[in-house]
Amino acid sequence: MTDQYAVIGHPISHSKSPKIHQAFAKQTGQSLEYRAIDIYPDDVAGQIQQLHNALKLKGLNVTVPFKETLWSLIDDLSERADRAGAVNTIVISESGNLFGDNTDGVGLSRDLLSNHGLTIKDKRILLLGAGGASRGVIAPLLQEAPTDLFIANRTAEKATNLANDFQDLGAISGGGWSDIKGKFDIVINATAASLQGEVPPISAACLADEAACYDMMYGDRDTAFVTWAKAHNAAHALDGLGMLVEQAAEAFFLWRGIRPESQPVIAMLRQ
């Protein structure tokens, strides 16, 4: 039987993951099937078990709203999933054991570094938002040794609490919008504001000359934050499509032991 994989979420019909993994499989000559499965918010563990019994799944991707739910349900977690407080990739052993990992953060740092040729080392990073999306990317960003990372959030206290959780990994602090001081080289939007077509109320004065603005969201058209960045002449105005493909590439590597090329797949999705 062909190896089976799936992405689970609710809703899930919009997911690009099947297209991405099918493209990786074709590119690397791997034989596998990958589908999107809508599951319901109650008894997530039971539904995964049923899916595994029916399909003999080898792996799963997890998306909204189950990343945090699964983190608390899975015992066997990678260090990065544990730090992120969320799981986006599960490796399932022959015996049905679930290993939870999180490839979102490494997906973001690879997109910034490899696809966009940016540098994080010795740069100042401003991270907007203090929810699950932010938490998932902090450790991989600090690993690249920025000068500092400031988390700004509508609810300032959430930003300071989140920064406190990562003090051991580097220079990190947090606060409200009015606590943003000085200029930043990389400004990352991890708020859910783009979903409402809104932009966090920050001033363009926080952009350094060669600043890169990065929205972790993406869409068929420019997101509100990308539009804002272009309007304020940011040197780079980037959306999160590359992060999506890079987190998938890392998941594919965990499952298949082969690292696919992400650039052609990003180009395919942009068409």
For the annotated catalytic residues, the residue numbers are: 67
In the bound state with ligand ATR, the residue whose beta carbon lies nearer, of 23 and 162, is 162
Among 133, 139, 186, 224, binds ligand ATR (CB under 6 A): 133
CB of 156 to ligand ATR, least distance (A): 8
* CB contact at 8 A, 266 and 239: no
> Buried b / exposed e across 51-83, counting CB within 10 Å, b at 16+?
bbeeeebbbbbbbeebbbebbeebeebbebbeb
With binding defined as CB under 6 A, does residue 137 bind ligand ATR? no
With binding defined as CB under 6 A, does residue 107 bind ligand ATR? no
Among 196, 205, 209, 271, binds ligand ATR (CB under 6 A): 196
With binding defined as CB under 6 A, does residue 122 bind ligand ATR? no
* CB contact at 8 A, 190 and 216: yes
With binding defined as CB under 6 A, does residue 192 bind ligand ATR? yes
Stretch that binds ligand ATR, among 39-47, 100-108, 129-137, 253-261 (CB under 6 A): 129-137
CB of 139 to ligand ATR, least distance (A): 15
In the bound state with ligand ATR, the residue whose beta carbon lies nearer, of 109 and 191, is 191
Instruction: Cite the beta strand spans of the chain per DSSP E.
Output: 3-9, 32-38, 57-62, 76-77, 89-92, 98-101, 124-128, 148-152, 172-175, 184-189, 207-215, 236-238
**Residue 139 annotated as lining a ligand binding site:** no
* CB contact at 8 A, 18 and 265: no
With binding defined as CB under 6 A, does residue 191 bind ligand ATR? yes
Among 116, 154, 183, 232, binds ligand ATR (CB under 6 A): 154
CB of 240 to ligand ATR, least distance (A): 11
Q: Is 261 helix (H, G, I), strand (E, B) or coil?
A: coil
With binding defined as CB under 6 A, does residue 153 bind ligand ATR? yes
CA angle 85, 5, 244 (to 5 degrees): 55
Backbone phi and psi for residue 120, each to the nearest 5 degrees, phi listed first: -105, -35
Provide the annotated binding site.
15-17, 63, 79, 88, 104, 129-133, 153-158, 216, 218, 240, 247
Binding site for ligand ATR (CB under 6 A): 129-133, 153-155, 158, 191-193, 196, 198, 200
